Structure 1
Amino acid sequence: MSELVDRVDEHDHVLGVVERDEAQRENWPHRIATTICRDRQRRILVVRRSETHSRFPGHHDVMVGGAVNVGESYEEAAARELSEELGVRAPVRFKFKFFYEEGISPVWFGVHEAVATEPLAPDPDEIAWYGWLTEAELCKVVDQWIFVPGGREARRRYLQSGSGS
């Protein structure tokens, strides 16, 4: 049995509880909480997913995160995922959310920001590589490396929102 998630509509209103695999198979929207991490120098964390990752293996991303559990807020899920994937406990700050239909299935992304001040301890089942890039470096590689589609869109929105400065 896969994890249970809230099935939501195009306005992010809950319609019911379903298994995440079912939501993806049936193309039903659900919620994903993500975090864009910065370090003290304001560089942005870029990760490359493990080759065994169930979604977008080997792709790069500027977000770490995962499904929002039933009854969990975006913020709670973002903090939990940050700890699970990077071994970091840091305050997450909600930045924006957006509806995205071009990935595996339609999702609402709740995008957060965190400043990582402690050493990272990535889960090797999730993350194969990571590096800290300046905004200029990230803008150069985003069209050269293969990025998760939703992460590419979140990066664009994040930098346009003024969060990048």
Structure 2
Amino acid sequence: MGELVERVDEQDRVVGTVDRGEAIAHHWLHRVATTVCRDGEGRVLVHRRAADMSRFPGQYNFLVGGAAEAGESYEEAAARELTEELGVRAPVRFAFKYLCRGAISPYWMGVHEAVVGTDITPDPAEISWHAWVTEDELREMARRPTFVADSVEALDRYLGRGEAAGAGDPSEKV
């Protein structure tokens, strides 16, 4: 069995534990935890996903993250993914969550923020390139077709701080 995740309902309540691949194949809701990384100057980290990634290979993203494992909170998953993908430990702050319909499968996305130093060590199996950009530069990059589609909606919500709130209150804590 692969990566175990919690299958959740439309209100983000746990209904069981399933294999993540199965959740995606059956379009079952599960949880994904992401982090927006900023440096001390407020710039945002943008990265290109490795070419051999199973999801969105070679595309650009501003979110670092992945599926929350069974029994893991959004915050715990976000902190773990930050360490796995960037080689840094930093406190993550919950920003909001929403029901993302997803290009591949639907899921609840928890978005966090963290301030990290520019001295990061991205895992080359996950990240092939990275740069620190301003919010204006990020908005421009997100308009390109090479940007992960799911993260474009997250960016709109993040920069608008919930103006486009969907299911769930973006200020709601988990």
Cα distance between partner residues in 1 of 2:160 and 2:93:
17
Cα distance between partner residues in 1 of 2:147 and 2:12:
25
Q: Cα deviations across residues 126-153 of structure 1 (Å, max 9, x unaligned)? A: 0010010001111222113511122111
Query: Please, which runs of 5 or more residues in structure 1 have no aligned partner?
Result: none
Write out aligned runs for 1:110-149 (5 A). 110-117=110-117, 119-149=119-149
Structure 1 residue identity aligned to 2:114: A
Instruction: Normalising by structure 1, report the TM-score.
Output: 0.95
Write out aligned runs for 1:1-165 (5 A). 1-117=1-117, 119-161=119-161
State the number of aligned residues.
162
**Which secondary structure state, in structure 1, belongs to the residue aligned with residue 104 of structure 2?**
coil
Structure 1 residue identity aligned to 2:137: E
Q: Cα deviations across residues 85-120 of structure 1 (Å, max 9, x unaligned)? A: 000111000000010113211100000000002511
Instruction: Normalising by structure 2, report the TM-score.
Output: 0.90
Cα distance between partner residues in 1 of 2:122 and 2:27:
30
Cα distance between partner residues in 2 of 1:158 and 1:142:
13
Cα distance between partner residues in 2 of 1:54 and 1:25:
13
Cα distance between partner residues in 1 of 2:73 and 2:102:
23
Query: Please, which runs of 5 or more residues in structure 2 have no aligned partner?
Result: 163-174
Cα distance between partner residues in 2 of 1:142 and 1:24:
24
Work out whether residues 60 and 145 of structure 1, in 8 Å CA contact, stay in contact via their aligned partners in 2: no
Structure 1 residue identity aligned to 2:75: E
**Which secondary structure state, in structure 2, belongs to the residue aligned with residue 35 of structure 1?**
strand
Root mean square deviation of aligned Cα: 1.2
Cα distance between partner residues in 1 of 2:61 and 2:20:
21
Work out whether residues 141 and 147 of structure 2, in 8 Å CA contact, stay in contact via their aligned partners in 1: no
